Structure 1
Amino acid sequence: MESTRVDDFSKQKTAFTSTIKSSMLADDSKSVSLESENGRLEELGYKPVFKREFSTWATFSFAFSISGLFATVMTTFSYPLVAGGAPSAVWCWIIAGAGCMCIALAVAELVSAYPTSGGLYFTCKDLVPKKYMPAVSWVVGWLNLLGQAAGVSSTDWSCAQMLLSAISIGSDFSYVPTNKHVVGVMAAVIVFHGLINSLSTRWLDRITRFYAAFHLAVLIACVVCLLAKCKDFNSASFVFADVNPSSGWTPRGFSFLFGFLSVAWCMTDYDATAHIAEEIENAAVLAPRAIAIALSLTYVLGAGFNIVLAFTMGNNVTAILNTASGQPVAQIFSNVLGKTGAVCFTVLGFIILNFTGITAIQANARTIWAFSRDDLLPFSKYWYKINKTTTTPLVAVWLNVVFCIALNLIGLGSLETIEAIFSVCAIALDWSYVLPIACKLIFGKRLGYKPGPWNLGRFSVFIGAYAVLWTAFVSVIFLMPTMRPVTAKNMNYACVVLFVVLLFSLIYWYSGANKRYVGPRVNIVTLDPISDDPFKMK
């Protein structure tokens, strides 16, 4: 008996020792991997300051969350309906989605080669001739910052609209939301998102990782319910062929093109995952892979969701557009699913859009921090700070919160200008991507560009060129008024917002920034943003 106990103890000891050794080897392997990634970051010229705590699934979930597919289709479905009815919603998604996919894949390739918080802005350092690099990176940086800020503002404005729409439906439309109500709820929502982003990266990882599964479950449940409960489906001709615009533009084919805006706002901010690259394990592979998979899934599922909405929406487009709730898709839910189903899915859309707002602020805060690291912004030394407790850029988070609330206050006086922010988000972000993509195509080989471990291979040139041409084409459409005759009320003020921000950046450039700004900085690997001042360096 004693001998048996000794043998059992020896076996347990051996098994325990083996487990400990395996764990140590795994930890050593992870440590080597982190050292390799941090070494790559130092090669690019930056000291690692973030903790790499974003897992593989959380990275994908983050990339998928930035589109907010179910909710963003809900908030922008009116654009294609006005532009050409159901066919515009379906075909614009398929056509524009292909162009957006090319931009996303070209962005992912550059993210793999340059996995830093600066995103595509940082690539200008190696993809633009030295003589022009500061000016080009300055424009790319400001466009990216404008696009992300517009994305946060429009997302949280839509959050507020969606919540109030659910209340309106629940009251049998006796309550009609006003702009003042939307502004108040919007401010509360942005502050809530700021509080979530005040947590550490580890907590943000835990929150984000559940998003993708939740989003997919809601989307599938909604599609099943719509198909099961709809009693009178539209014809295939109504869905795919009968283009009936109510925009006032002629010919009908031109009006049809304004439906692209819905897709461009949903499938954008591709480099958001890049801005958290310094917090991702194996960022050079996982970040671009997450972008590619998440956007591919968004493209396919988005096309399916739009087709289902087109078949189940009924044939009275005018009534859907003029709904008292302010949300055409919420009205479709109400018509097909009844009050309870409509309130349920509208609230679920509100929850999903909150995830989008949280991830958008997280990405934009890292952008502000990275741009401040390079002295791109006014008072950069104040924004380039990392909180000692959370090891995240809290100052940048709350700067983002305050700025986006201030931007949305425009809605108190002009709803049309707020709607222009949707357009500005797509235009500014896409141009901040295609400028580096174009520079890679033109100067990459001459300047010694080396692709990262995730790349497009022989398809890189074709996909990159199509991304540039597509962006040039749709930008013209997004800057035009979507309704005719054009009045002060329905004017597309996207061009005004874009002009004002670019004018400010130009004035700031010639007021002295051009003398101290040298583009994305390097050789600051010894600096600690918690205590050191990078702006004392030359």
Structure 2
Amino acid sequence: MDGLEVRPQTATESLRERKKSNGVIDIVAPDGTARRVDLADMSAADAELAAKFGYTPVFKRQFGYLSTFSFAVSISGLFATIMTTFVFPLDAGGAASAVWCWAISGLGCLCIAFSVAELVSAYPTSGGLYFTISRLAPKDWVPSISWVTGWLNLLGQIAGVASSEYGAAQMLLAAVCIGSDFQYVITTNTTIGVMAALTVLTGIVNSMSTFWMEKMTQGYVIFHVLVLVSCSIALLVKTENKHDAKYVFTNVESSSGWTPIGFSFLFGFLSVSWTMTDYDATAHITEEIEEPEVKAPWAISLAMVFTYVVGWLFTIVLCFCMGDFAADDGILASVTLQPVGQLFYNSLGKGGGIFFTVCGFIIIKFVCFTAMQSLSRTVFAFSRDRLLPFSHFWTKIEPHTGTPLTAVWISVFWCIAINLIGLGSYAAISGVFNICAIALDWSYCIPIFCKLAFGNFEPGPWHLGKFSWFINAWACTWTLFVTIIFLLPTARPVAADTMNYASVFLAFTLLVTVVYWYISGRKFYNGPIIEAQFEESIADRSSSDNNNKDKEAKELSV
């Protein structure tokens, strides 16, 4: 085939160098249909996507450095996610648990984030981490490992969006409660109804074109930083009876019932792991980023460092200003069901309480917008590789907006559905927070472990160099450690209303995944598209063309 050149990318070879080949490639979709694409007509990143990974580009690349970084920051939603999860370390061990669990757990989360960034740089596709299995694991193991990794990642993302929407509903209703001078009574049914409406709003926003999503994302990080700085200053200035440093950094008190109290202290890791997760969300929009092999890992790593440092400082500020959290009129007993919102009210008055609680609501809605964008692209990518039932339906792209509308709205449906369990038990909703961190971190560490175990990794432009092995190994070790903690009940004695339902969700998901694999998946799923398959078919075609030319030459000579 004239001008055809498809070869693996080396660590030093740029995407633009690949484009210079000006080749033509036939891409064979999982359903057997073929499409011929000309690499010269594409951007460098699109040409790489087609030539190296075998995917037809369908998204517009609208995200630059600022919007990609802002997207990565928005996933953590630092200000709002701390508001949502601050109760966990306080219950576990008081102020010291909140402060030191953030410092310790954050380092483990950074190791996972850096390891993920390294993989994203090497394999920038919407499939994210499950796709990397096709390059890291032995060929015979690829289908089963990538299947489990993909489903765990999908569960984690659904749980992440669902729990964020639930937190957004709580914040909005807390602002209403403060505005009514605490006369408005918040019920679980009302929270679930508001959550459903907010999730639909998220779906509508994600039905717009990538152009508008990029514009919305650009200004988010500036707003977020301004809220963090202004709130911290206001709390330190206006809070009259602040705790001293000894209390903030050394006070340990637990209401969990676990003994010794040092064990209870460890449950404070949940707040950090839920805030500093979903690192690969940026990976799922790499097909919408210019130069994704550089910008995506840069954004992931920098955003997580920002989240770690600023999150720790903001947590310290809250601990100085929170008062006696365990008192009968303390923030944990607030009728708003939003302890940090109550803290704002106590220190800043009604106006300040409403203002910063609404700011938290706006920020967590941005989390939902960007996380839903990532989730819908994951559904699209999984369907493209036939991981999901009725896969052809979820890969449809709306021509006017350039977005996968069916993937967006099936994501909306499942995010609402998983939160409906809150109608039966609030403890089950807490399990959704836990399973988000567990499932996502497992889906990251499986490919990281494959990278360490099989040695097939070819680094991209952004890599960890000589520190790679140590950082990767600690990421896997840390994930195993915190998983054990997150599956244990956070309070004793264990009853229906104190049970940690994360273990139930995880067991159910793994059971469904394995059963679906043996009943149906293994019959049609051969793993993500693998470059070698295209190279072999191309080589066969080239060999056939050469044989035909030789035959014609011999006939002419005769």
Provide TM-score, normalisation by structure 1. Answer: 0.90
- Please list every run of 5 or more consecutive structure 1 residues that lacks an aligned counterpart in the other structure: 1-27, 526-538
- Select the residue among 293, 299, 302 that pairs with 1:284: 293
In structure 2, relative to structure 1, the CA distance for the partners of 1:32 and 1:267 (3 Å cut) is farther
Q: Does 1:351 find its partner at 2:362? A: yes
Corresponding residue for residue 111 of structure 1: 120
Cα RMSD after superposing both structures: 1.5
Q: Does 1:150 find its partner at 2:152? A: no
- Select the residue among 18, 37, 43 that pairs with 1:35: 43
Corresponding residue for residue 139 of structure 1: 148
Aligned partners of 1:312 and 1:410: how far apart in 2?
A: 34
Residue 522 of structure 1 deviates from its aligned partner by 4.0
Match of 1:132, SS?
helix
Q: Contact 1:63 / 1:294 at 8 angstroms: preserved in 2?
A: yes
Q: Contact 1:33 / 1:282 at 8 angstroms: preserved in 2?
A: no
Corresponding residue for residue 314 of structure 1: 323
Q: Does 1:120 find its partner at 2:148? A: no
Q: Does 1:47 find its partner at 2:64? A: no
- Select the residue among 193, 207, 226 that pairs with 1:184: 193
Aligned partners of 2:162 and 2:323: how far apart in 1?
A: 32
Per-residue Cα deviation, 1:48-105 (whole angstroms, up to 9, x for no partner): 1111111211100000000000000000000000000011110010000000000000
Match of 2:241, SS?
coil
Aligned partners of 1:215 and 1:180: how far apart in 2?
A: 30
Q: Does 1:130 find its partner at 2:139? A: yes
- Select the residue among 377, 386, 391 that pairs with 1:375: 386
Match of 1:37, SS?
helix
Aligned partners of 1:442 and 1:182: how far apart in 2?
A: 46
Corresponding residue for residue 250 of structure 1: 259
Q: Which segment drifts farther, 406-415 or 134-143?
A: 406-415
Aligned partners of 1:58 and 1:32: how far apart in 2?
A: 27
Residue 431 of structure 1 deviates from its aligned partner by 0.3
Match of 1:347, SS?
helix
Aligned partners of 2:41 and 2:118: how far apart in 1?
A: 21
Q: Contact 1:423 / 1:478 at 8 angstroms: preserved in 2?
A: yes
Aligned partners of 1:238 and 1:386: how far apart in 2?
A: 55
Q: Does 1:492 find its partner at 2:500? A: yes
Q: Contact 1:51 / 1:391 at 8 angstroms: preserved in 2?
A: yes
Per-residue Cα deviation, 1:394-413 (whole angstroms, up to 9, x for no partner): 10000000111111111111
Q: Contact 2:134 / 2:530 at 8 angstroms: preserved in 1?
A: no
Corresponding residue for residue 409 of structure 2: 398
Residue 385 of structure 1 deviates from its aligned partner by 1.3
Aligned partners of 1:116 and 1:265: how far apart in 2?
A: 24
Instruction: State how many pairs are aligned.
Output: 493
Provide TM-score, normalisation by structure 2. Answer: 0.87
Aligned partners of 2:101 and 2:310: how far apart in 1?
A: 14
Aligned partners of 1:153 and 1:507: how far apart in 2?
A: 25
Residue 466 of structure 1 deviates from its aligned partner by 0.4
Aligned partners of 2:243 and 2:313: how far apart in 1?
A: 15
- Select the residue among 200, 217, 221 that pairs with 1:208: 217
Q: Which amino acid aligns with 2:323?
A: G
- Select the residue among 456, 468, 477 that pairs with 2:476: 468
Corresponding residue for residue 96 of structure 2: 87
Q: Contact 1:54 / 1:281 at 8 angstroms: preserved in 2?
A: yes
Residue 317 of structure 1 deviates from its aligned partner by 2.6
Q: Does 1:429 find its partner at 2:437? A: no
Per-residue Cα deviation, 1:406-432 (whole angstroms, up to 9, x for no partner): 111111111111110000000000000
Per-residue Cα deviation, 1:326-346 (whole angstroms, up to 9, x for no partner): 011111111111111011100
Aligned partners of 1:347 and 1:439: how far apart in 2?
A: 43
Corresponding residue for residue 362 of structure 1: 373
Q: Which amino acid aligns with 1:507?
A: V
- Please list every run of 5 or more consecutive structure 2 residues that lacks an aligned counterpart in the other structure: 1-19, 21-38, 535-558
Aligned partners of 1:119 and 1:234: how far apart in 2?
A: 44
Corresponding residue for residue 521 of structure 1: 529
Match of 2:396, SS?
coil
Per-residue Cα deviation, 1:320-370 (whole angstroms, up to 9, x for no partner): 111110011111111111111011100010000000000000000000000
Corresponding residue for residue 451 of structure 2: 440
Q: Which amino acid aligns with 1:292?
A: S
Q: Contact 2:95 / 2:247 at 8 angstroms: preserved in 1?
A: yes
Q: Which segment drifts farther, 232-241 or 61-70?
A: 232-241
Q: Contact 1:46 / 1:522 at 8 angstroms: preserved in 2?
A: no
Q: Does 1:504 find its partner at 2:512? A: yes
Identity of paired residues, percent?
A: 58
Corresponding residue for residue 26 of structure 2: none
